[in-house]
Amino acid sequence: MLDDRKLAVLRAIVEDYVSTNEPVGSKALAERHNLGVSPATIRNDMAVLEEQGYIHQPHTSAGRVPTDKGYRLFVDRLSQIKPLSAAERRAIETFLAGAVDLDDVVRRTVRLLAQLTRQVAVVQYPSLAKSTVRHVEIVPLSERRVMLVLITNTGRVEQRVVEVPELVDEDRISHLRAMLNACLDGCGLSKVPDTVADLPEHLPLEDRPVAATILSVLLETLVDRSDEKIVFAGTANLAAADFTVGLRDVLEALEEQVVLMRLLGETSDPAALTVRIGSENPYSGLRGISFVAAGYGSGDKELARLGVLGPTRMDYPVTMGAVRAVARYVGQILAGS
């Protein structure tokens, strides 16, 4: 365990290195920070920090830089995540509140996160498996074709064109629409198959073939749902970043959505802010980056996750504050949608 003074030295090294991207020496620490001790004492403390693996010397006669272990201790001992200013909070709320649908919310969110953090932002679409039915619409397109529209409580819209086996009129469609909404309103999507299983039996014989066809497409829509849909923005920020792995490795990892899904989803506490630093990432292409993620949703129910990735030399207090704030606002927007 490190004493408070050595923790203060480590904190100062991290802050200076993040700010300057230059190895930090004892003289600079003494000049820039009110540590209350001499440069000689700081050198002794730095020697202990290096011996225990929290900092290292990139080359002879250079100052020290934090290791992944040092960043981890810095993050774990953060006394305060930097809050956004009142102006930033108002700007976020106004920007996200202007979204017209779920796709727009996701697009705005990922752009906003990239701008706030100057990193690569990643946003997962709300999972259909965690959603409930808000409304089912059946719109006649022709005598033997209808549009089936499923709207969830998160504002997600799934639609399919259905070819029905016989001519249908507005009255028959209206009756089926009413029955579907009566039994599915507020129903969890995972429970829809069981809920509609015997629905055709409650319809007149002549309406059952059309109902069975429409229900079949509805269930296919749930099976084929794109739960693993992720969008990202801010890749241009990679040009200004310094990675301990090649930029190509990072770009390849971004293209592998399954890797991003696992990073977003691997957490023991869905409500917690998750920070993975360098070697803590189990994927070789991402071992030179840090990943900060949080869940968003309605109330205490998480619908999906969002986050940012960037070099281990990132401003953790600012990044963590931005991710947490944006996740909270997205949840509020969806809860009111």
b (16+ CB within 10 A) / e for 10-19 = bbbbbbbbbe
The mean of the pLDDT values for the chain is 86
Q: Specify whether domain 86-126+228-335 bears CATH 3.30.450.40.
A: yes
What is the average pLDDT across 130-155?
A: 88
CA distance 333 to 294: 16
Predicted confidence at residue 83, as pLDDT, reads 82
Predicted confidence at residue 291, as pLDDT, reads 92
Give the residue, 160 or 225, on which the prediction is more confident.
160
Predicted confidence (pLDDT) at residue 61 exceeds the cutoff of 80: no
Question: Do 4-76 and 86-126+228-335 show the same overall fold?
Answer: no
Q: Specify whether domain 4-76 bears CATH 3.40.50.300.
A: no
Sequence spans of domains, the chain: 4-76, 86-126+228-335, 129-223
CA dihedral for 207, 213, 217, 223, sign (positive or negative): positive
Give the residue, 7 or 245, on which the prediction is more confident.
7
What is the average pLDDT across 14-35?
A: 92
What is the average pLDDT across 264-274?
A: 68
Predicted confidence at residue 25, as pLDDT, reads 92
pLDDT band at 275 (very low <50, low <70, confident <90, very high): very high
Which helix (H) or strand (E) segment is 77 a member of? none
Helices 68-76 + 4-20 axis angle, to 10? 110
Query: What is this structure's pTM?
Result: 0.78
Give the residue, 195 or 249, on which the prediction is more confident.
195
Tokens of 318: 């600012």
The alpha carbon of residue 270 and the mean position of all alpha carbons in its chain are separated, in whole angstroms, by 11
Rg (CA), the chain: 26
What is the average pLDDT across 17-42?
A: 91
Least confident of 204-218, 245-259, 312-326: 245-259
67-95 residue pLDDT tens: 999 999 999 988 678 888 888 889 898 99
Predicted confidence at residue 269, as pLDDT, reads 58
3-state class of 153 per DSSP?
A: coil
Domain 129-223: CATH architecture, name and number where available: 2-Layer Sandwich (3.30)
